[in-house]
Amino acid sequence: MSQLNILTLPDSRLKTVAVSITEINDDIKQLAQDMLETMYAAPGIGLAATQVDQHIQLVVIDVSEEKDQPLVLINPEIIEKEGIQTHEEGCLSVPGIFAKVKRADQVVVKYQDIDGQHQELAATGLLAVCIQHELDHLKGIVFLDHLSLLKRKLAMKKLEKAEA
């Protein structure tokens, strides 16, 4: 296993829309393991393949306190949404920036697991937020895109100052 480089804004590759995975082979399984290692080391609770410059529909998540419940979602798709929650979000690709984002309170996501089996998962709370956040990355969307233009500009200025 190895840690991967995480892309950060304003890198335009974060806007790339991911393509479906047609075959779950050893390369995909290795990438998932490397993404988990990268996510845990960062530290974070979710990572999309887009964030490590792999533009395929692969997401890893672990919202457990012990960091021992990794989820690997291949070709994930939210098929149900319900309710609204506002949660303060951050992102490994937007270091040091946090903002309140409105998202669905409950989601059902269908996906393939690392063995290619089709699964469905109902999620609420932090897991629901994380799933929506990571699936946005697969569409080329970062959480700042959910903010007003003013808040987005302020966040980008703060990010630019931090890099300077």
* 27 occurs within a structural domain: yes
Contact 45, 39 (CB under 8 A): yes
Q: Total structural domains in the chain?
A: 1
In a domain, 152, yes or no: yes
Q: Is 109 helix (H, G, I), strand (E, B) or coil?
A: strand
pTM across the whole model = 0.95
Tell me whether residue 3 is in a domain. Answer: no
Query: Which CATH number is 71's domain given?
Result: 3.90.45.10
Please confirm, yes or no, whether 134 is among the known catalytic residues.
yes
Report yes or no on 109 lying in a domain.
yes
Domain membership flag for residue 125? yes
Residue 149 CB-density burial (10 A; 0-12 exposed, 13-18 middle, 19+ buried) = exposed
Q: Is residue 35 a contact partner of residue 47, using CB atoms and an 8 Å limit?
A: yes
Which residues, in sequence order, are bridge partners of residue 153?
A: none
Residue-number span of the structural domain to which 93 is assigned: 12-163
Among residues 37, 80, 134, 163, which one is catalytic?
A: 134
Would you say residue 7 lies in a domain?
no
What integer pLDDT is reported at residue 111 of this predicted model?
Answer: 98
Under-50 pLDDT residues of the chain? none
For residue 70, is it within any domain?
Answer: yes
Q: CB atoms < 10 A from the CB of 1, how many?
A: 10
pLDDT for the residue numbered 1: 66
pLDDT at res. 40? 97
114 in a domain, yes or no? Answer: yes
